[in-house]
Amino acid sequence: MYQDLLVTLQNSFDSLSKSQKAIASYLINNYDKAAYMTASKLAQETGVSESTVVRFATEMGFDGYPALASYLQVTVYSRMTAAQRLRLTNHLIGEGDVLEKTLAADIESLNNTLANMDRKVFAGAVDAICSAKTIFVIGVRNAAPLASGFSYSMGQVFDNVRNISTTNNDEVFEKLVRIRENDVLVAFSFPRYSKRVIRTLDFAKKHKATVVSITDSLYSPLVPLSDFCLMANSSMSSMCSSLVTPMYVINALLTAIGKKQETMVLEKLEELEALWKSNSVYESIT
């Protein structure tokens, strides 16, 4: 990821112009600070014009400066410990209202996710899940609640859902050993990305299964291993990734699946309602 950009800057440093060298040098030595700078601020820090910073980002292969900044943010975030994330979050919030700033960060993430969601990729993910022989689900550490919630909701109406999230590395592959071409693996992972999840995706791809991933960025290591990748832009509003936006994507997936399989889903839900009622599962509010 960032290492590729770092190597590129170092290898091509001598061939860069004077202004480009100023930007490259700053990024190499201060990428953690540059990640949260505007183009104008980076220009000020490096003594070049803002237009030069924007052109530099394009020349490095990014679709403008915001894409470069996003790339750096993912890199910084994926390398940070929980303590470092908390310190950075406290710095970004400053003396402001924590409730207001946290909500604002999540709203911005939700809006970015909606604006950038590829509808064709989303529809493809829904189709793949609906037509799968078996639906395997994985999410560990900070993504474990996402995998658990998605599996629970899907399991209410589908008999072929298997949550393979586990604390034992070896057990994952034992649970996945029969995954085949007609199966789907739904994976959740956010910074810092789980090696276990990445290995699981690689295993599924080698067995020709379809992979649907929910992650935070185009620079996530899940992207090249996925057939359908749904981006859930996650704000850094605490010592761990916010799960608000991933939950929104899950809700959208469940809604779309319910629409596509409406007859079957309604039948299963009515069956469940009768079961819950006969066993007094829920308290009546009168």
Range(s) within the chain of domains with CATH label 3.40.50.10490? 113-279
Fold classification of 113-279 (topology level): Rossmann fold (3.40.50)
Residue 146 binned pLDDT confidence (cut-offs 50, 70, 90)? very high
Question: Judging by beta carbons within 10 Å of its beta carbon (0-12, 13-18, 19+), is residue 281 exposed, middle or buried?
Answer: exposed
Q: pLDDT, tens digit, for every residue of 220-276?
A: 899 999 999 999 987 655 556 789 999 999 999 999 999 999 999 999 999 998 999
Residue type, 10: Q
User: What is the distance between the alpha carbons of residues 266 and 58, in angstroms, rounded to a whole number?
Assistant: 50
Strands 184-188 and 135-139: parallel
pLDDT at 84 (0 to 100): 67
Q: How many CB atoms lie within 10 A of CB 120?
A: 9
pLDDT at 78 (0 to 100): 67
Q: Please report, for residues 273, 274, 283, the alpha-carbon distance to residue 279 in angstroms, rounded to integers and kept in the order given.
A: 10, 9, 11
User: What is the distance between the alpha carbons of residues 207 and 48, in angstroms, rounded to a whole number?
Assistant: 51
Range(s) within the chain of domains with CATH label 1.10.10.10? 5-79
Cα–Cα–Cα angle for 181, 187, 191, rounded to 5 degrees = 145
Tell which residue, 234, 236, 179, 168, has the closest CA to residue 202: 179
User: What is the distance between the alpha carbons of residues 175 and 221, in angstroms, rounded to a whole number?
Assistant: 23
Q: Is 283 helix (H, G, I), strand (E, B) or coil?
A: coil
Contact 101, 93 (CB under 8 A): yes
Fold classification of 5-79 (topology level): Arc Repressor Mutant, subunit A (1.10.10)
- Residues in a beta bridge with 214: 188, 230
pLDDT at 1 (0 to 100): 41
Q: At what angle do helices 262-278 and 244-260 cross, to 10 degrees?
A: 110
Tell which residue, 235, 265, 234, 263, has the closest CA to residue 250: 234
Q: What is the pTM of this model?
A: 0.77
pLDDT at 162 (0 to 100): 94
Q: How far is CA 162 from the centre of its chain?
A: 21
pLDDT at 104 (0 to 100): 85
